[in-house]
Structure 1
């Protein structure tokens, strides 16, 4: 099963123009995957039509909702964007509720909880997000006055240092969508055709620090891995970005061991990692270190401690808005506020 997942991932990240270069096994799956994608696309179309026609009842939450999704294969920084928006709302004095389905052990939820521990953000995990939201509203309350939210959003930005409103003011949906057979340039073209004035912001994941698996409270500079032999071990949607981020820091050599997205590291995998490290030591005559992502750590921090005689680091990164043209972090903040205020005005009309 792990091999099949790896094959599907390789197909998904391969541009259409290079599909013919894939091995025979990969190409033999293309018709089946294309059919599955067509069925999935039709089901989404049918679902939307049922909602728009009123045949399926829409459930509305009493506060504005921000949906954070991805238009291409997973691993595009959706969870860091959720955290980024949650921090902006917290700084504006608005308590966000993050709703996530908690796939495969809830690694995203664990990471968000650790990062947002000192903020007013709440995290609700569950497949039924309406029920999860209702439970969180009952437990923490919510801001049921649109005027109160509008006032906070309309006020000039300032970091709130006094007592924060513990009630929930905005819901953020960690809402992934995957379109594996659609190229990014087609998506960009469609978006611009919908609205030529649609703001497009560029972001990047910037490594901030490492911490040791044996000591999660440690904080090591990214330069720690410079001139070292590194084995990148990951089970995320787009491991290329992870390996590239490590390479840019300047290690002596970067090797990688990629598992399928959300894969749980097993005892057999630990043996494979140990064997690969032995080969690297033989080749470079130095001890190699293991680097994993935060998601891999949060999925199962205990199993990684089985590499007790080795150095295992966890890479921590943060999302940054790249200041291109007029689209800066402050522009992003103002656009977010504008859309939330527009949403509140629509809610007031109903």
Structure 2
């Protein structure tokens, strides 16, 4: 089953111009099946969208503004860092946010958000029925009625109001992975794109990684191109041009994850400088949606060599995986006769913190990064905050 899953992922990542690189059986058997399944998926998405549009399936409105953060393709789009970034904007403005997330698979994203936002006014609701989850939290903690003037002042001048809030009552909801969650009405639609593969291979799931056709971008209020620091200026211009062809002429921002420090898996309160991996061989171990960006980021820090071991997105590390990791680390040490260190992402840590401690005799570090809006084309963090405020007030308060 794992071999089939890997084969499907490989086909879904292969553009039409490189199909000859696939093994014969994948080209002759798996590719036609996935292409047919993608056609069915396209029909199901279109039908489901129409059922919601014409009111045949119910849509629910929350009593507070809802900011949706979603993506067009699966994995590696910076969705979770953006959710945290918006939550911190709200916290700083004294508007307690409620993050609504499915808690997909092992719940690594929700766990990371809880760890990062611990001690703030942010609340996190986990569950597939996010309307019911929100209702439960509103019942326990209450919510603040929207007031145009107050919201405008708080979002515009967060330092004037500080982090004070009305007894912790929820003031705004952030819908994680909300682009295709049509059962909840949203006031602001933010769509994240992976700058390294913004459209995947231009095919829908499962032949590709697109969750909707490109035309869906026209629904976005804000489009964010993530990993923009790993993409050339020329390619960024191509991405922007593509947006115009699908009538996605909205506010566009560019973001990156800037490595800041490491901490040890055995001690999450430790802080190690990035230079700790200089002149060392690094094995990047990850189970995330787009490991290429993680590997590139580690490589830019300047280790002697970077090797990688990728597992499927949200994969929970098992004991046999630990043995595989230890074996790879041992081979690297023997080959290069130098210190070897394993590096994982924060998501991997929050999913598998305990079992990762079973990697004995080798250092296992967690890479921490800060989410940053790059000041490209005059669209920096201040512009993003201003645009977000304008959208909330005009759409929810208008």
Q: Shared fold by TM > 0.5?
A: yes
2:231 is aligned to: none
Query: Residues 162 and 106 (structure 1 numbering): CA distance in 2 closer, same or farther, change over 3 Å?
Result: closer
2:19 is aligned to: 19
What CA deviation, in whole Å up to 9, does each residue of 1:167-221 have, x standing for no partner? Answer: 1111111116697552799675664245464111111111111110110100111
**Count of residues paired in the alignment:** 346
1:55 is aligned to: 56
**1:20-99 to 2 correspondences below 5 Å:** 20-27=20-27, 28-99=29-100
What CA deviation, in whole Å up to 9, does each residue of 1:116-153 have, x standing for no partner? Answer: 11321111000110111111111211112334653445
1:299 pairs with one of 333, 351, 361: 351
**1:85-234 to 2 correspondences below 5 Å:** 85-147=86-148, 149-153=150-154, 155-158=156-159, 160-161=161-162, 163-165=164-166, 166-175=168-177, 182=202, 191-193=243-245, 195=247, 197-234=249-286
5+ long unaligned stretches in structure 1: none
Alignment of 1:2 onto 2:2: yes
5+ long unaligned stretches in structure 2: 181-198, 204-209, 218-238
Contact 2:15-2:202 within 8 A present in 1 as well: no
Separation in structure 2 between the aligned mates of residue 240 and residue 279 of structure 1, nearest angstrom: 22
Partner SS for 1:54: coil
Q: CA RMSD in A?
A: 2.2
328-337 or 135-144, which deviates more: 135-144
Separation in structure 1 between the aligned mates of residue 200 and residue 248 of structure 2, nearest angstrom: 25
139-148 or 174-183, which deviates more: 174-183
Contact 1:141-1:167 within 8 A present in 2 as well: yes
Contact 1:143-1:169 within 8 A present in 2 as well: yes
Separation in structure 1 between the aligned mates of residue 155 and residue 365 of structure 2, nearest angstrom: 43
Separation in structure 2 between the aligned mates of residue 64 and residue 162 of structure 1, nearest angstrom: 19
**1:268-347 to 2 correspondences below 5 Å:** 268-346=320-398
199-208 or 177-186, which deviates more: 177-186
238-247 or 65-74, which deviates more: 65-74
Partner SS for 2:71: coil
Separation in structure 1 between the aligned mates of residue 112 and residue 155 of structure 2, nearest angstrom: 31
TM-score under structure 2 length normalisation: 0.81
Contact 1:153-1:341 within 8 A present in 2 as well: no
Separation in structure 2 between the aligned mates of residue 116 and residue 155 of structure 1, nearest angstrom: 22
Separation in structure 2 between the aligned mates of residue 17 and residue 160 of structure 1, nearest angstrom: 55
